[in-house]
Amino acid sequence: MSRKIHIFDTTLRDGEQVPGAKLNKRQKIEIAEQLAKLNVDIIEAGFPCSSPGDLQAVKAISQQVKGPVIAALARAVQEDIDIAWEAVREAERPRIHVFIGSSDIHLQKKLRTDRESALEMAVEAVKYARRLCDEIEFSTEDGSRTDFEFLCRIIEAAINAGAGVINVPDTVGYALPEEFGHLIHRIREAVPSIDRAVLSVHCHNDLGLAVANSIAAIRNGADQVECTINGIGERAGNASLEEIVMVLKTRFANYQATTAINTTEIYRTSRMVSRIMNIPVQPNKAIVGSNAFSHSSGIHQDGVLKDRTTYEIMTPETLGIKQHTIVLTARSGRAALKHRLGDLGFSLDADVFERVYNRFIDVADRKKEVGAQDLQSIVEIEVSKAPETYKMHSLQIMSGSKIVPLASVTLERNGQLLTDAATGNGPVDAVFNVIERITGVSGKLRDYDLKAVTMGRDALGEAMVRVQIGDTIYSGIGTSPDVIEASARAYLNAYNRYFANGGAETIKS
C-alpha cells in the first residue's frame, strides 16, 4: 500500500531569497495560482514580518488562491506570529510556520541563548500560534546539526504544545543521505508523540545532495518534503520539487510513495518561475532543462527512433512538454495564432492577446517560422511584462573590430520619441549606455545571460539581465531574433520594473 507524501512548496519564501529575485504582489499571485494548478499541498507564501509588501502579498494569496494550504513563516516571537496570522487568516486552509534555531552554533552565535531558553521560547510560541490558528508547523532550524537528545526534546515539546507538523531542516546542506535518513529513522523511534504529527524535511543543496537527502528521509518515514521549483533558494538552492516528484513517480516500486502533483504542469511552472524571477534553468538540469529530452549522439538517436524507452525513462508529455511540428509564419492571422496558443494551453485576455500578436508579427517578419517554444517565450514575457514607462521603438548599431561600437536608440514615453546615442566596450554595452542616458538613471549590470530559445541561425534569442539600481536589483528579460535587440529589451524591462516600483518618482509623473 502506497503512502501520500505532502509537497510543501517554498518557492515564494525561500526561493525568493535569491538576490535579484524579489517579487511584487502581482507576480507572487501569478506563481501561487500556477502552484495551485500544479496541485502542491502547501504553499509557503512568504515571511510577512519581513516587509509590509510581503505581508500584503501573502494576504492577497490567502484571499485569492484556493486549494492548497497557505502558510506564512514566523520566528518564535509573538509579533511575528501576529503578523503571520494577519496574512493567512482569510485562507481556506491557513497555517502558521514557526521556527527557531536548535543547533548549538545557532543558539550560541546567532540567538545568544541556551538550550533551555530556546525550548521555552519554542513552546510558548507554538502555544500562542495554536490559539490563533488550527494548523501549526514547527521547524528546528539547523536540525541536522542539532544535538540529538535536545532535538528530540524540543520536537516532543512542540507537539505537546500544539504543533501538528514537525520540520527537520538540513539548513546548511551539510548532511549526507545515509546519515540524514538515519536521523529521520531515529526521530521516529525516539520521540514518543511523533505519530501525532506530520514529519517534514527541508533540505538545502550546498553539497548537491538536497534531493538525495529528501528521498532518503522519505524512505525513512518523512511524510512531507519542503522544496522549490527548479531548486531555487538561498545560496546553492533547495531540494528541487520536480526532481523529487519524478523520482517517486518513476521509481514507485522502490518507495511505494506518491504525491498529488499534476506532473503535466511541471514544465510550465518551471518556465514561469524562471521567467518571473529571472533565474535561467541550466540546459542540463534534470527533468526541466532544455537538454533533458535532447539526443545528439548517433547511437542515442538511433535507439530513440526505434523505441523512445531506450534512452528516455519518462516522456516529455508527462511533464507537459508538448512537441509541435506545425509552425506559424508572418502570414498567419489572429485566428491561427489564437488556435495555436490554445493548443499550448494559453487563454489570454483580449488586450494581452493583442500585445502577443503584435510581438509575434514583429518576430515573424524577421524569422521564417515561429515555433511552439518561440510562442511560449513571447507569451510569457508579454504576460509578465512590467508597466512600460519606456517602450522600445528602434535601435541602430555600428560596430566592428577596428572601430568603437556606437549605438543609437529611440524609446517612446507618453507618445514622445526620445533618441540618443552612446559608445561602449561592445555593441551591447553601447546600447545599455544609451538606455541609461535617455532614462537618466545609472545602473550596474550584475548578471547577463543570453541563450537561443530554439535551434538554427534564425533562432529567437532570449536575454536575461539583473541590474542594480541604488540598493535594489531588478531583473529583466527580452527576446528577439537579433541578440542585441533582445539584450536591449531585457535591460529596458529591468528599468521599467524600477520605474514601476516608484523609481525616480516614475519620472516625476
Q: Residue 385 in contact with residue 477, Cβ under 8 Å? A: no
pLDDT grade for 297, boundaries at 50, 70 and 90:
low
DSSP tally for the chain: helices H, then strands E:
18, 16
| pLDDT at residue 2 greater than cutoff 70 | yes
Mean pLDDT, residues 305-309 taken together: 78
Mean pLDDT, residues 464-478 taken together: 90
What amino acid is encoded at 280 in this protein? P
| pLDDT at residue 433 greater than cutoff 70 | yes
| pLDDT at residue 508 greater than cutoff 50 | no
**Residue 111 to residue 205: CA distance in whole angstroms:** 24
Say which CATH architecture domain 3-277 belongs to. Alpha-Beta Barrel (3.20)
SS3 (DSSP) at 413 = strand
pLDDT, one tens digit per residue, over 113-142 is: 999 999 999 999 999 999 999 999 999 999
pLDDT score for 453: 79
In the numeric block, the cell 535536545 is attached to 150
pLDDT score for 300: 66
SS3 (DSSP) at 36 = helix
Q: Which helix (H) or strand (E) holds 35?
A: helix 25-38
**Residue 16 to residue 12: CA distance in whole angstroms:** 5
Average pLDDT for the chain: 91
pLDDT score for 325: 46
CATH superfamily, with its number, for domain 391-508: Alpha-isopropylmalate synthase LeuA, regulatory domain (3.30.160.270)
Angle at 281 between CA 55 and CA 69, to 5 degrees: 35
pLDDT score for 509: 46
pLDDT score for 156: 98
SS3 (DSSP) at 180 = helix
| pLDDT at residue 345 greater than cutoff 80 | no
Q: Which residues of 376-412 are buried (b: 16+ CB within 10 A; e: fewer)?
A: bbbbbbbbbbbebbbebeebebebeeeeebbbbbbbe
Fill in the DSSP letter of residue 145. Answer: G
More confident residue, 500 or 373: 500
Give the range among 207-221, 274-288, 414-428 with minimum mean pLDDT: 274-288
Mean pLDDT, residues 410-426 taken together: 95
Q: Which of 146-150, 325-329, 377-381 has the highest mean pLDDT?
A: 146-150
More confident residue, 195 or 508: 195
Nearest residue to 455 via CA among 367, 380, 358, 379: 367
Spatial CB neighbours of 345, under 8 Å, sequence gap ≥ 6 = 268, 320
pLDDT grade for 293, boundaries at 50, 70 and 90:
confident
Q: Which of 87-91, 266-270, 323-327, 386-390 has the highest mean pLDDT?
A: 87-91
- Bin 20: left if φ > 0, else alpha if -120 < ψ < 50, else beta: left
pLDDT above 90 as % of the chain: 68
Q: Where are the beta strands (DSSP E) in 304-402?
A: 391-400
Give the range among 135-139, 199-203, 365-369 with minimum mean pLDDT: 365-369
Rounded to the nearest 5 percent, the helix, strand and coil shares of the chain are: 45, 20, 30
Q: Where are the beta strands (DSSP E) in 332-440?
A: 391-400, 403-413, 416-423
SS3 (DSSP) at 255 = helix
| pLDDT at residue 216 greater than cutoff 50 | yes
Angle between helices 266-277 and 241-250 (to 10 degrees): 170
pLDDT score for 505: 57
Q: Where are the beta strands (DSSP E) in 176-223?
A: 198-203
| pLDDT at residue 307 greater than cutoff 60 | yes
pLDDT, one tens digit per residue, over 26-60 is: 999 999 999 999 999 999 999 999 999 999 999 99
Domains 3-277 and 391-508 share a fold: no
More confident residue, 224 or 363: 224
Mean pLDDT, residues 234-247 taken together: 97
**Residue 69 to residue 505: CA distance in whole angstroms:** 38
Q: Which helix (H) or strand (E) holds 124?
A: helix 115-132
Number of Cβ within a 10 Å radius of residue 217: 30
**Residue 261 to residue 314: CA distance in whole angstroms:** 16
Distance of CA 23 to the CA centre of its chain: 10
- What does the domain layout of the chain look like in residue ranges? 3-277, 293-318, 324-384, 391-508
Fill in the DSSP letter of residue 296. Answer: -
SS3 (DSSP) at 212 = helix
**Residue 363 to residue 462: CA distance in whole angstroms:** 12
pLDDT grade for 279, boundaries at 50, 70 and 90:
confident
pLDDT, one tens digit per residue, over 372-386 is: 778 888 887 787 777
